[in-house]
Amino acid sequence: MAEQRSAVVIEDEADIRRLLETTLSQAGFVVHSAGSGREGIALVRTIDPTVTTLDIALPDIDGFEVARQLRAFSGTYLVMLTGRAEEIDTLLGLEAGADDYVTKPFRPRELRARIEAMLRRPRDRIAAPGAASSGTELRTPPAALGGDVAVSGDVAGHRTLVHGDLVVDVACRTAEVGGVVVDLTRTEFELLVAILEAPRRVLTKEALARRALGGDHLAIGPAERRSVEVHIANVRRKLRDDPAVPRYVETVRGVGYRLARLS
């Protein structure tokens, strides 16, 4: 039997809250609602939902702060909703840990399509930093993937991508630099893996947006390309990667990104 999917709606406007409840219920979710940020945080902690929709303009805590607090303990797919379409709001939402950003008024069918696309991406596990590995022996020794990337696998089929001091476990969805765990969001992790898996090949912003959003059928416009730029900037910041002298992610101006060469 398939696992029952759950959703939390954090929205103070009753009409919009009911519309979200109906949209998510029709998509097969058991929906729980909260009318304030604090109530929503408590609900997510209790329910551990698959998906959470989050309004920015809440009566107690703004949505950006709610998103940051949720990301401290939850891997829920997070969609932020707002009536403001300014670019700075989109950037702040993504930087706070949102997976997607939708402006009001929204079309229920589009929201459902975006959520279904997100669900095709693996859900992150929130684990304590520095958790011990399983200790499973390697089935094969590291082999060159190309472009200074080595890949290894264990008896459980886990893949590890290594580029200098950057180590990414694809199955466990963890990243380390010099042995220190790097806290990446789901989208940031997907983009980093895509670049590591295509060493020295230039990946366009459109291709990366489709990888991050989870569907080749999605239309990619300026907002999606800008979203990729913001997520890549966050990846660089967390990896302490200087764009002027990149160790991991190199910009190809006017096109996209590729893996930097090892010095």
| CATH number reported for the structural domain that contains residue 228 in this entry | 1.10.10.10
| CATH number reported for the structural domain that contains residue 38 in this entry | 3.40.50.2300
Domain ends where: 90, 119, 148?
119
On the question of pLDDT at 30 being above 90, the answer is: yes
Counting every residue written for the chain, the total comes to: 263
Domain ends where: 119, 154, 175?
119
10 in a domain, yes or no? yes
On the question of pLDDT at 187 being above 90, the answer is: no
On the question of pLDDT at 40 being above 90, the answer is: yes
With b for 16 or more beta-carbon neighbours within 10 A and e for fewer, the 188-220 pattern comes to bbbbbbbbbbbbeeebbbebbbbbbbbeeeeeb
Rounded to the nearest 10 degrees, what angle do helices 63-71 and 37-47 cross at?
20
Return the CA Rg of the chain: 19
The single-letter code of the amino acid at 133 is S
131 in a domain, yes or no? no
185 in a domain, yes or no? yes
Domain ends where: 53, 88, 119?
119
Do 155 and 188 fall within a single domain? Answer: yes
What confidence score (pLDDT) does residue 115 get?
85
Question: How many CA atoms lie within 13 Å of 201's alpha carbon, on the beta-carbon side?
Answer: 12
Do 114 and 142 fall within a single domain? Answer: no
Average pLDDT over residues 250-255: 89
132 in a domain, yes or no? no
Q: How far is CA 210 from the centre of its chain?
A: 13
192-208 tens-digit pLDDT: 999 998 877 898 988 88
Q: Which residue has the tokens 């959003």?
A: 213
What confidence score (pLDDT) does residue 51 get?
94
- Ranking 98-102, 229-233, 245-249 by mean pLDDT, the lowest is 98-102
Confidence of residue 235 (pLDDT cuts 50, 70, 90): very high
Residues contacting 198, CB < 8 A, separation 6+: 258, 259
Do 252 and 149 fall within a single domain? Answer: yes
Do 87 and 154 fall within a single domain? Answer: no
Do 80 and 171 fall within a single domain? Answer: no
Average pLDDT over residues 203-218: 75
Confidence of residue 3 (pLDDT cuts 50, 70, 90): low
Question: Regarding beta strands 77-82 and 100-103, do their DSSP bridges make them parallel or antiparallel, or are they unpaired?
Answer: parallel
Do 101 and 142 fall within a single domain? Answer: no
Do 108 and 152 fall within a single domain? Answer: no
Do 19 and 115 fall within a single domain? Answer: yes
Is residue 202 within 8 Å of 256, Cβ to Cβ? yes
Confidence of residue 125 (pLDDT cuts 50, 70, 90): very low
Distance CA 102, CA 110 (A): 9
Do 95 and 185 fall within a single domain? Answer: no
On the question of pLDDT at 248 being above 90, the answer is: yes
207 in a domain, yes or no? yes
Long-range CB contacts (< 8 A, 24+ apart) of 229-233?
229/205, 230/90, 230/91, 230/94, 230/95, 231/94, 231/185, 231/187, 231/188, 231/191, 232/191, 232/208, 232/257
Do 150 and 195 fall within a single domain? Answer: yes
The domain total for the chain is: 2
> Range of 184's domain?
138-259
The model's pTM is 0.54
Do 79 and 146 fall within a single domain? Answer: no
125 in a domain, yes or no? no
Enter the tokens of residue 160.
């590890």
157-182 tens-digit pLDDT: 457 888 889 999 888 888 999 888 99
Average pLDDT, the chain: 79
Distance CA 179, CA 134 (A): 16
Enter the tokens of residue 214.
């989870």
Distance CA 69, CA 230 (A): 20
Do 150 and 68 fall within a single domain? Answer: no
